[in-house]
A and B are shown apart, each in its own frame.
Chain A
Amino acid sequence: MTAAPSAPQRTPAVPRREVRTLRTAVGADPARGVFVALALTLAIGWVVVALDGGQLLNQSSVVSLLHVATGLGLVAAGQTLVILGGSLDLSVGYVVSLSTLIAAETMNGSDSRIGPAILLVMAVSVAVGLVNGFLVATVGINAFIATLGVGLLLKGYLENGYDGPAGSTAPTLVQTLGYQRVGPVPVAFLLFLAVAAAIWFALRRTRYGHHLVAVGGDAQVARLSGVRNDRVLILSHVLCALCAGLAGVYLASRLGSGAPRVGVESFYDLESIAAVVLGGAALAGGRGGVVGTVGGVLLLASVDSVFNQLDVDAFFKQVVRGVIIIAAVALYARRRHRRHRERNGARS
């Protein structure tokens, strides 16, 4: 042996054990950001509205804010799942519209048909979700194109069959889901929170949740670890469509009838994605959480509420929303970038 080099003798410094038991990796960090933004929006909005001679958080405006949040929130909660998995769903707006019609037409004003109506909505939603999931996960079509295509398909059906409201929602459902409140909080908003909580729990405590984040984070890593990526993605698309269906039932209760254009006019497809991204999720998947999405939804609804009270021009409102979304995502991107650099610095 030539002068055999020996291993370095230096003892490595042992850093202290990282203690972060409560915060898991998912959703902790960016979610906080969106709630800070929400608080700021409400505070600034309150001041501005007060200067204008109004009051931002009066009973009726809070109620309407929460109603706006409920419709968008139900859709966005489902959207969170597909985005976490690295996919997305552009057909949700049409699923919402379709669901209002199925619900209202099946009920046709009769309380006794609530059960069948909801079951039918669920069945159709599951079917749409299965088609989306099959196209994305099994056939391997880009999610943008696949779900856009399915959405256009539904759009064709809706525009061919309906030019205005149709059917009539059961009165009981209108009274409860549509208008009942606990103080200023609509029952429907509680339903949204329940759905969000269920998704939060699923992400943390079910194999499906763990696998979903893995598939979105790195499909190859997931596959090599024994995750069945296609099943996970298909299930996510089904759950996403179910959430959209639920939003449809809620809107049918709100409006008293089926509305063929409600999903599209509310921009649920793009706004739900915006809410998820505002909540700190990565569009590429693997990072984010439903808590952030709730924050994103409330933020968008609050901005809406402030502008409504100020009677701001609708088009200008869109401009501001656009600015907010871009600014938020740019902020996240910067932070990611910095963290990435730090990590690479540690590498060399």
Chain B
Amino acid sequence: MVTIRSETAESGGDPPLLELRGITKAFLDVRVLHGIDLDLRRGEVHAVVGENGAGKSTLMKIISGVYPPDGGSVALDGRPVSFRSPRQAQSAGVGIIHQEFNLLPERTVAENVFLGHEPLRRGLVDTRTMLRRTAELLDAVGETSFAPTARVGGLGVARQQVVEIVKALALDARLLIMDEPTAALADHEVELLYGLVRRLQERGIGVLYVSHRLVEVFDLSSRITVLKDGRRVTTVPTARTSQDQLVRHMVGRELAHYYPPRAEPGRADEVRLSIRNGANDRLRGVDLDLRAGEVLGIAGLQGSGRSALARAVFGVAPFTSGEVRLGGRPVRLRTVRSAVRAGIVYITEDRKGEGIAARQSVLDNALLAGRAVFPRWAGRAARTVRVRELLAAVEVRAAGDQQEIRFLSGGNQQKVVLARWLALSPRVLLFDEPTRGIDVGAKSAIHDLVRRLARDGAAVLMISSELPELLGMSDRIVVMRDGAVAGELPAQATEEDVMGLATGAVRGEPR
């Protein structure tokens, strides 16, 4: 049987499906949520929007039982609940669809949908019931393009998303959290998702819809809650607001941080790196000029192709078409090695995963790139001396350069990574979220370093999700959207300008 509950619209007195009161949460000493209130009615699509780092994902993880809240209350149907695990939340009817899929590509749709609660008959898995119920659920959400026996890995991303949703429904979800459900979808697939969300709504299922894409939010939701810096700014009926107003709510805050002075106009003129019509499977038609002596900021939402751009230049996932020129001469940057040899370096956003060798010493980490790419570079002793000087110059604070790097703070780890690349005297530096997860003091130090590098003649490209940082540091800002350059803004741009381009609100054309 299909057990999607369809409760009739209630008259005012009934408690809402979900009610959050004063939810707070801190990680270590950093408060990420400050007393969030939110409620969701049956059959409602309630959108939650905010910049990167506004606290949306943390809030969703609290509702779905991944984290416990530090304070405040969660109530389902008016009854207080406190989930200790995703499993408990699931059995209470809270389903979450994460950005990354929780599916087994090698298994069939039905096997995925019923994983962990396979129906049994005489102690054996009742395959027939499994297939039948999966088919019923697929029908219930209006999906007829694939069978319950299809292999999940063979389905497109949109259909995998449907499988995720059906998996949540198989557990009798009454409340569905969708975290950036369209991040991986193409346009026509987004449309499929729209239909699905509306059908869930008709069945009385409440949907919390987290998205960066304001267009979708306006198409789907009946109310919108804006979060900023872990606080709720406002909750408004969708019909009574506009994209402009929302963007203002999302970004309105004061610049408190000090940023080093920008380059003097006219200093940055030599085009160091130029990309014409660069494309690969994540990027299309990218034209970009990066000048010596400037800091070029790259803005955009998650998945807009910011990192893909830096990684293409660095040869991690190279351009498959288009032309790249370095100092006026065409170059082929097919591998990281060729990029490094050409004087291009990339400071990754994923410091833990890609930036540091956690169990190696500070010195080994700083020597890593030089040793790997220039084996005979400067002679062992000389290079060690040089790197030690650099470590001192960037003011790494460690118990000594033989200390394992994993014991250092994030800021100091980042400085070691920086020293590693500076040792190669790079001509082009690609910074990807250089201050993510770094405390305020170290942040300033890194900002100063970035600016000093530009002043000394390096060409700097800096990706950041933090708009104040981007606006404070950049001489120009290029905004990316959907794998392409959405527009360029001068240093005096406002956060509204950037968000407008990044969300597509400014152009106002259909996606």
A residues near B (Cβ < 8 Å) are 1-8, 10, 12, 14-21, 24-26, 204-207, 209-211, 213-214, 217-218, 220-222, 224-227, 286-287, 339, 343-348
Which residues of B (109-128) have their CB < 8 Å from a CB of A? 111, 115-118, 120, 123-125, 127
Who on chain B is nearest to A10 by CB? B188
> Which of chain A's residues have a CB closer than 8 A to the CB of B145?
14-17
Tell which of B86, B151, B218, B510 touches A8, judged by Cβ atoms closer than 8 Å.
B510
Chain B positions within 8 Å of A210 at CB level: 111, 115, 118, 125
Extra contacts, 5 of them, besides A2-B243, A4-B508, A224-B86 (Cβ < 8 A), are A10-B191, A19-B147, A21-B147, A210-B118, A211-B116
B188 & A5 in contact (Cβ 8 Å cutoff): no
Q: Which of B124, B153, B219, B509 contacts A7 (CB 8 A)?
A: B219
When chains A and B are docked, how far (Å) is the Cα of A221 from the Cα of B112? 10
Query: What are 28 pairs between A and B in contact, CB < 8 Å?
Result: A2-B242, A2-B244, A2-B508, A5-B504, A5-B510, A5-B511, A7-B194, A15-B146, A20-B147, A20-B150, A21-B147, A24-B108, A25-B153, A204-B127, A207-B120, A207-B125, A214-B104, A217-B107, A218-B104, A224-B102, A225-B115, A225-B116, A226-B116, A286-B104, A343-B105, A344-B281, A346-B156, A347-B184
Contact: B115 with A206, CB < 8 Å? no
> Which residues of the other chain, B, contact A1 by a CB distance below 8 angstroms?
218, 241-243
Cα–Cα distance between A3 and B102 once the two chains are bound (Å) = 37
- Report whether over half of chain A's contact residues are helix, strand or loop; otherwise say mixed: loop
CB contact under 8 A between A4 and B104, given known A210-B111, A346-B156: no
Q: Can you list the 9 inter-chain pairs with the closest CB atoms, starting with the nearest?
A: A226-B116, A225-B116, A3-B508, A217-B104, A1-B242, A225-B115, A25-B151, A348-B281, A18-B150
* A21-B511 in contact (CB<8A): no
Q: Which of A5, A24, A206, A224 touches B149 (beta carbons < 8 Å)?
A: A24
Identify which of B87, B104, B118, B194 gathers the most chain A CB atoms within 10 Å of its CB.
Answer: B104
A26 touches B115 (CB 8 A): no
Contact B188 A12, beta carbon cutoff 8 Å: yes
Q: Which residues 271-303 of B have a CB within 8 angstroms of A?
A: 281-282
Complex: chain A residue closest to B125, CB-CB: A205
Bound Cα distance A235, B412 (Å): 46
Q: Which of A8, A20, A211 contacts B191 (CB 8 A)?
A: A8
Whether A21 touches B149, Cβ cut-off 8 Å, given contacts A221-B102, A226-B117, A346-B157, is yes
Within 8 Å of chain A (Cβ to Cβ): is B103?
yes
Interface string of B447-462 (1 = CB under 8 A from A): 0000000000000000
CB of B8 closer than 8 Å to a CB of A: no
A227 touches B116 (CB 8 A): yes
Q: Is the CB of B102 within 8 A of A225?
A: yes
Shortest distance between the CB of A345 and any CB in chain B (Å): 7
Interface centre among A211, A218, A222 (most CB of B within 10 A): A218
Known contacts A24-B149, A210-B118, A5 near B107 by CB under 8 Å: no
Residues of A within 8 A of B215 (CB): 5
Report Cα–Cα, A204/B125, bound state, in Å.
8
| CA of A12 to CA of B118, assembled, Å | 33
Chain B proximity of A199: nearest CB distance (Å): 15
The answer to whether the Cβ of B505 comes within 8 Å of any Cβ in the partner chain is: yes
Q: Please give, as numbers and ranges, the residues of chain A lying within 8 Å of B11 by CB-CB distance.
A: none
Contact yes or no, B106 A213, CB < 8 A: yes
How far does the Cβ of B97 sit from chain A's closest Cβ, in whole Å? 12
Question: What is the CA–CA distance of A205 and B505 in the complex, to the nearest angstrom?
Answer: 52
Provide the residues of chain B in CB contact with A220, threshold 8 Å. Answer: 102
* Contact residues in B for A221 (Cβ distance below 8 Å): 102-104, 115
Contact between A206 and B125, CB atoms less than 8 A apart: yes
Residues in A with CB closer than 8 Å to B87 are 226
Could you tell me if B111 and A25 are in contact, using CB atoms closer than 8 angstroms?
yes
In the complex formed, the residue of A with least CB distance to B90 is A226
* CB 8 Å contact bits of B234-245 with A (1 = contact, 0 = none): 000000011110
Quote the shortest CB–CB distance from B109 to chain A (angstroms). Answer: 9
Interface string of B220-264 (1 = CB under 8 A from A): 000000000000000000000111100000000000000000000
Q: Are B508 and A5 touching (Cβ within 8 A)?
A: yes
